[in-house]
Structure formats: structure tokens, C-alpha cells
Structure 1
């Protein structure tokens, strides 16, 4: 298979294209499994970790190296032949899913219920490794990835998809970690028909063309319900909604705390913040600030808040924002995260500051891919 991998400085002899027969180990964050191969025939004890796509833990496969050289700590690869298949392996519903094909989906070869179990394993591992939670903690052992209504057996859910335009009017998707394009006539996870209106619980939200909105039709309701259930907002409580987007969470939190309660929404994208003001007009004492969250919190709103919602981008809130949240001494924080590693890292920061994680829910908002959405509740200890 020929691949045009993103360029980087070589670190010794390239191993790209070499094949190894190996047992597949556990799933890892990022849509692949861990495989160990004998890197040096002269030294059978010298093994190398290969992050391998298109396989399932417990299988025996032939791995072809797609990235890696002698000087790299780990390699990347594809399972190009399955010698012993997992009982959870299925025929991918999309003909463009597989080695050296479209890189958009990670788990089309896995039965849908088992996809969710693999995602749960990844979240558990991140909580133990990065959040330093005990493997025996009930939050870890009991974590499941919940199905969300709005897809068709894991397909036809993505309401916004970016394709690469091709000569002649076709369209394509890029290969995994590559600039090469595969022509795709029908993306099986793309929703059919017109994009649904941005309506949640009877409220229509104004969203800019191309602006952020959850791509799974069932996601907004699932996340709003989780945040409200976990925070249990009471009349009169003050709310700080960070990375507020167009005001999805602020709208329903404001309804719960009442017209006289203080609600502040902070959003970095100025156009989203402008539309949030319209979406929240007439809803309690809501104020919307546009600007970098960490910068805004350093300059404004330094009074205590009862409740905080965090819904940061994939890189997470990071310590600077966590410290600012803790400084407001909320009784509870709802953290909405699309990356379990960033979430776990930030949960450790909260723990160091006296906030205990008391609940975690995970949702399958991105079927057929490795992505998973989590909502964690943090409560002040002592």
C-alpha cells in the first residue's frame, strides 16, 4: 500500500511497509489497539509498540507499518490481514472503511455494542492514568457509554461533514494521517436530507453558518439533560457558563435558577457570543462576555458562583482556567468533554484544589469513530 504520510524528520532507517504477525493487545486512546512486534530479528527481546488500526483486542493479525523508523519510540500500522478474528468483528457497513482507505471512521469493523465497550475502556484507562483515580473506584468500574437516539444503527447521524472537492464534481475524504484523498460517493455516517433545525426543548437557537453545534441530532438534548440532572440547579443560584457557545446550557440553567438569579456566559468566538445574546434575551439576569475564557476570568466576574459549566474545546480547560473556576468556590461543576484524556488531566487539577469527581456519564455521540463525549460532576469537598 502506498501512503503519503505527513512529513516529519526521519529518525533512522524507515520501517514503513514492513509486515509482522502479532497478537493484538488492549484498545488505546485514538482509535487503535496496542500491538507489540519484534523490532530486531537478531534480538527477539527487542519489541516495539505499534498503534494499530482496524483490529480488535484479542485478535491475531498481520500488521503493516505505516509510520515509523528505527529511532522512533513507537510505530503506527494497519491490520492488513486477520488470522484469528474476534467474535465482535463485523463486515464494515461502508466500503470505504479499512486499511489505506477513508480515515474518517475507526471502528466500522466492530459490532456497535462492542464499540461502546472499547470507548468505555479508553475512558476508564484515562481516569486511572491521568486523573489518578483508583481502578476499583465505582465511577471507573461502573462507567458505560450510553447510546443516544438520533442515528440509524450507528450510521446517518453526522449533520455536518467536510469533504474534499474533486475534479469533475466528486468529493472525497482524506486517509488517516495523510493528505491523500479517497473518493467517497456516499459517506455512511453522513445524515441524509436537510440539516435539522437547532431546536432543543422547544427553544430554537440561532447558530452562524458553519458555527459550532453538536453534529449528532440527539446530542444537545442528551447533554442538556445530563448537565441539569448532575448540577440540580436551585432557584436563586448563580451560574457561570464557560465556553458557552450560542448559549445552549445557559438557556436552560437560567430557566431553573429563575429570573432574579445571576447567569454569566463566556465564549471565545465573538460571533457565537453575539448570537448567544439573542438566544438568551429575556432569560433571567444573563450577561454574555466575548473573549478568551482564561483572560476574561482574570479580569471579570471574580465574585463567588454556585454552579459552573465547562464545555471546552478538545484540548480541555487546562490549569489556568481550572484555577480560576476554583477561585469562585462553586458548590458544583459540570465538565462536558469531547476528549477523555484532556478531561482526566483537568479532573486531577480539580482534585488537587479540593474538588472530588462524584459522577461521570459517557455518551456515544460519534458512532463508528473512537470519539466519545463525557459529562463529569465535581463537588467541593470539606
Structure 2
């Protein structure tokens, strides 16, 4: 990957937005994926990937010749492509839409969701006009002025470390780590740690979890590869001592990203997350929704679809697949009551242990750790009825990782013959591909909503209701 200073600069007119945080431009017949642009603009770009035999090139905007009405000053200097381009450098990643007004961001994300569902999902335009008229919804509209601007929402943040030991973040598609002095997308509790003032020599990665309920911050420190055990211990303990001097010190743990193992140095190795009705323990780097409003927004939408359709009621048999620490499992257990049952399936051993702790009092919940497709297909209590037949679910919540559920999981899930599936997705392309797999299996998209749970980035969260096609026809 070449730096902007070592490549020729071109002037292009920017075309439509594409999935992945860039727009499409063309130069002499060559497709160029341009980051930090807005459709319709004329901009100067610096090529960052431009192999002669490549099918397409990549570039960053370095100067705006004719700007869009939606262009605004970037709120974060380190992530501003124009300021970086002016000094021949690259911006950090993580806020690639920060130069676009908030209404403009919502429009572009709506265009991406629609395009993916039409092209990859095979959903007709007319059907999308009916299902997705609201477009991507803003979840911060009732917050403070800063929240309305899409700032201060992240409860989880990952950092890298520069060669000189400073806190930093990577440039896009680069191994280069650039120093930072703030993280405006994160909750104030993260910035209050003032991590950029510390010496992280000997540390490769830093993860911070700061629950929105203010119950205590956890800092995970991953020592550099190849460091001796003694040197790694010194590095971790040195940083823990510095953090202990803060007025409100965080918990600190040594962390191995490869197997998620943690060793508590001070405080505790987990954080307490809460919703309106439940409390959850999340250990180490265990998964939890990043946006402070995401737990409520997503549970209201997913369970709302199932409740409104009459698929979720007292005594129902339901499943929560890729269940994490139990965000959806807990309200599902409430909805089905003691006469119903909930199967919780999670692949991560640590997160599955958290789910057992969080749901130990819910006797109607069965928690299994393993691959979803394997568990759905095994001959166990989870997949068989008392009569020896494959277990059937009244409803399912499906919240797969970014790569999506995939054809094998869709096939295994359809075989359980649920009445409805509430699908929660953080990637429009993966979601659209899965919608197509469901369509090939005789299922259809009945409802869909999308939420901007990642302001100032290209990411968007989608919640959909999928039902057998015969149910729509009737």
C-alpha cells in the first residue's frame, strides 16, 4: 500500500456510495473506490492501492474541488482526510463518514442497505419501497447536543500502540499505527482515562469496555509478541499502577487476544451491563453491543416483530442463536414464561459461561456452547422432541457475527420449521446474502428496519422479520 505522497494525484467526479465506506469513481475506464468522498463531488484523490493489473484501485480524498451540500468539517483532526492529505499523511480509520452531515450519513446508509438487498438479496424494488420506506433510523435524536451529532456513543473501543509506545489507531487497510489524543466517539469515561498520556511500551493492543450504566471501566492489555514473561509482566503492572492513581481507577487485566484468556491485575475481569429489566456479566473481551442505546433498540425491534406477529407468547418454544451473554435470551425467557422454553446457542466458551451466570435463575433456558449448525443438527435434547423428532421452534432470534449466518446455518435453521425468525445483522452485504439463502429455501422478508448504531462510520445495523413465503401469501 502506497502513501499519498508517493503516488500521483488525480481529479475525479464521485459516483454512488458503495458498501464498505467508499464511493465509486472512474478514471480512464478504471474503477476507483474513494474514501472520504460524497456522491456528486469533484475531488482530488491520492491513490493508496494502484497495482497496474488490479481490477480496481483505492484512494483517499486530499482536496475538494466542488463539494456536496452534505459536506461538513470533520470533528476529529486525526481522522480528517483533508488535513492528513495536506501534510502528505493518512488519516486514522474509524470515522470515515465524519465529513458528512448526519442526515447525509443516514441517506447514504439507506442507499447501501437498499442496494445490497436488491442486488444480493434479490428483493424487488417495489417490495423494498413498501418494506423500507423509513430508511435508516437515527437512534440519538432524543439525546444531548453531542449525542445528536453522533458522538459519545461507543462503550467498547480497541486501540493499537505506536512503535514509540503511544496509544494509537490504524490507518485504513494499513499496518501503520498513528497516535491519537482523544476518542470522541466513545463514552466520556474512556477519554477520562487519558490513555494517550501513558507509556504503552511492551503492549500491542489495548481494549476498553465502559458500560453505559457507569458501573466501572475495564482495561485489557495485550503484551507484545515475543516479549519475555518478566518484561510483559512489568509492562502490564507499570500501566496498572498509573491507572490506579486516577480518581476513579478502572479494572485492569492482562489479556491474550488469541484465546480471550485474562489475568486480573486490579479490580475484576468483567463488566456489568444492564437493560431496563436485566443485569448481565460480560467477561474480558466478551461480546456486547457497542452503542450505548443498542441493547434497547435491538431488543425492542427484534422481539417487537415476534410479539406483533403473535409468534412469541406464554408457553412458546424459541431459540436465541449466537446468543452472546444473553441480551435477547433474557427477554425471550420473560416472554415465554415458565411454561415455555428458550434454547441459547453461543460459540465462544467464555461468553457462554457468562450466559450461564446471567440466566441461572431462568429454568426454562437451556444454554449450549458450540457451532450453531452443529447443535441444530445433533440428536440431543436441544434438537429432539420427546417423540424423537427434530425439535421445532415457534420463533428464533438470529444474531450472527459480521460474516452472516451462511448457507449451512440457514439450511439447518429452516429444517427446524420455525414460524418466524427475527434476524439481527451488523453487515448489509452478509444480511442480503442470507436473505437470498432464505428465499431459496421458501422464506421471505416480511419486515425490515435499520438503525444507525455506528454514527460517523459506514456500518449500520439491520433487524428483519423472516417468515415462510406461504405465511405472506395467506
Scaled by the length of structure 2, the TM-score of the pair is 0.74
Deviation at 1:269, TM superposition (A): 0.5
Q: 2:121 aligns with which of 122, 126, 131?
A: 131
Q: Separation in 2 of the partners of 1:140 and 1:255?
A: 29
Q: Separation in 2 of the partners of 1:224 and 1:327?
A: 25
Is 1:368 aligned with 2:456? Answer: yes
Q: Separation in 2 of the partners of 1:167 and 1:18?
A: 28
Q: Separation in 1 of the partners of 2:169 and 2:186?
A: 12
Deviation at 1:165, TM superposition (A): 2.6
Please say which of residues 307-316 and 295-304 is displaced more in the overlay.
295-304
Deviation at 1:98, TM superposition (A): 2.6
Q: 1:27 aligns with which of 17, 21, 24?
A: 17
Secondary structure at the residue paired with 2:57?
A: strand
Secondary structure at the residue paired with 2:282?
A: coil
Secondary structure at the residue paired with 1:164?
A: strand
- Structure 2 equivalent of residue 192 of structure 1: 188
Aligned 8 A contact 2:161 2:169 in 1: no
Aligned 8 A contact 1:124 1:143 in 2: no
Deviation at 1:264, TM superposition (A): 0.4
Aligned 8 A contact 2:392 2:417 in 1: yes
Runs of 4+ in 1 over 4 A off after TM superposition: none
Secondary structure at the residue paired with 1:206?
A: strand
Please say which of residues 291-300 and 222-231 is displaced more in the overlay.
291-300
Please say which of residues 219-228 and 272-281 is displaced more in the overlay.
272-281
Aligned 8 A contact 1:230 1:377 in 2: yes
- Structure 2 equivalent of residue 44 of structure 1: none
Is 1:253 aligned with 2:332? Answer: yes
Secondary structure at the residue paired with 2:98?
A: coil
Deviation at 1:168, TM superposition (A): 6.2
Q: Separation in 1 of the partners of 2:276 and 2:443?
A: 31
Aligned 8 A contact 1:34 1:52 in 2: yes
Is 1:265 aligned with 2:344? Answer: yes
Q: 1:17 aligns with which of 3, 7, 10?
A: 7
Is 1:56 aligned with 2:38? Answer: yes
Report the aligned-residue RMSD: 1.8
Aligned 8 A contact 2:445 2:465 in 1: yes
Aligned 8 A contact 1:61 1:84 in 2: yes
- Structure 1 equivalent of residue 76 of structure 2: 94
- Structure 2 equivalent of residue 345 of structure 1: 433
Secondary structure at the residue paired with 1:188?
A: coil
Q: 1:164 aligns with which of 160, 166, 171?
A: 160
Deviation at 1:202, TM superposition (A): 2.9
The structure whose residues are more often helix, as a share, is: 2
1:273-292 equivalences under 5 Å are 273-292=352-371
Deviation at 1:170, TM superposition (A): 2.7
- Structure 2 equivalent of residue 114 of structure 1: 104
Secondary structure at the residue paired with 1:361?
A: strand
Deviation at 1:106, TM superposition (A): 1.0
Q: 1:144 aligns with which of 113, 131, 135?
A: 135
Secondary structure at the residue paired with 2:404?
A: coil
Secondary structure at the residue paired with 2:59?
A: strand
Q: Separation in 1 of the partners of 2:38 and 2:428?
A: 20
Deviation at 1:271, TM superposition (A): 1.2
Aligned 8 A contact 1:170 1:185 in 2: no
Q: Separation in 2 of the partners of 1:63 and 1:363?
A: 31
Deviation at 1:147, TM superposition (A): 1.4
- Structure 2 equivalent of residue 323 of structure 1: 411
* Aligned residue pairs, count: 364
Q: Separation in 1 of the partners of 2:427 and 2:463?
A: 11
- Structure 2 equivalent of residue 314 of structure 1: 402
Aligned 8 A contact 1:93 1:108 in 2: yes
Q: Separation in 1 of the partners of 2:62 and 2:451?
A: 30
Scaled by the length of structure 1, the TM-score of the pair is 0.91
Query: Relative to 1, partners in 2 of residues 1:140 and 1:177: Cα closer, same or farther, differing over 3 Å?
Result: farther
Is 1:356 aligned with 2:444? Answer: yes
Provide Cα deviations, 1:179-228, integer angstroms capped at 9, x if missing partner: 11111000211211162241011311011122111111000010010011
Secondary structure at the residue paired with 1:223?
A: helix
Structure 2's unaligned 5+ residue stretches are: 82-89, 191-209, 212-271, 384-389
Aligned 8 A contact 2:346 2:372 in 1: yes
Q: Separation in 2 of the partners of 1:282 and 1:307?
A: 22
Aligned 8 A contact 2:395 2:420 in 1: yes
- Structure 2 equivalent of residue 11 of structure 1: none
